[in-house]
Structure 1
Amino acid sequence: MNRFLNSASPRRSRSTASVRRGAAAVEFAVCLPVLVLLVFGAIEGASFIFLKQSLNVAAYEGCREAIRNSAATAEATSRADAILVARNVNDATVRFIPADVTTVSRGEKIILEITAPTRTNSPLAGQFINNRDLVSRVVMVKE
């Protein structure tokens, strides 16, 4: 009698184990695309945050250069461009308002706007997402 009971148990456990393995494979197949999408989305989101911060830093440093008494527009632009190049920002445009900072009197505002597209600065899926232009704007008073 014991012999028959022992022989039936392994068959049930083998059958149950294969069902469990099959269920795990199905769960993996369903969850994997979601996990991959979350990981790539997190990478894209982090790269856009880095891009925005890079624009902020470049705008701040460029405007800081422009508000100095002896500053020229070319020097301030090259300061902002150097930061953008160091941070691998592509296709950025630097624009001062007014266009020539040497004409601004002491106590007046100088505005620096830096714009960069997200498509050319995306590490993974730039061609799959809609292009947006990120803008950083800094306003400072001339010394």
Structure 2
Amino acid sequence: MQRTIMEALMPELTSPYAQGQAMSAIGMLAHAAAVLESAPAYDAAEIKDLRATFAALKRLGDKHISKKSGLRGALARATRAGVKTSPDRRAMEESMSVFAAAVALGNVDDSVARHVRGYIRRNLERSRNLLGASLPTG
């Protein structure tokens, strides 16, 4: 698409505005291609971090994760999803969202909150690295 815009479309555009829009489209396509190329590494890092975070939460034990909170079930689902031959990242993320909500509502102790906040911080950094600090705009 980039080459088509550059070789076929650009020579036909006479307006500086239209030419600028075409160049913006080329920039956005280049950015999208870079994101797609780095997505597999992002996915692998995300799964590795989710596994490690849930393993750390599991090591905290029942003392830190109350039965009535529903977090034990979320932890069990995440652990099962993470040990599959092809890990179920969506199920792991769903479990993490349950933990994140509990942290936001103040329904967990500091040990659990520290692990969840750490994961969220790392996830945001990975997302920022994948998508870039800003997207090209036209």
Normalised by the size of structure 1, how large is the TM-score?
A: 0.34
Q: Rg larger in 1 or in 2? A: 1
Which structure's residues are more often strand, by fraction?
Answer: 1
Normalised by the size of structure 2, how large is the TM-score?
A: 0.35
Structure with higher RCO (Cα < 8 A, 6+ apart): 2
Which structure's residues are more often helix, by fraction?
Answer: 2
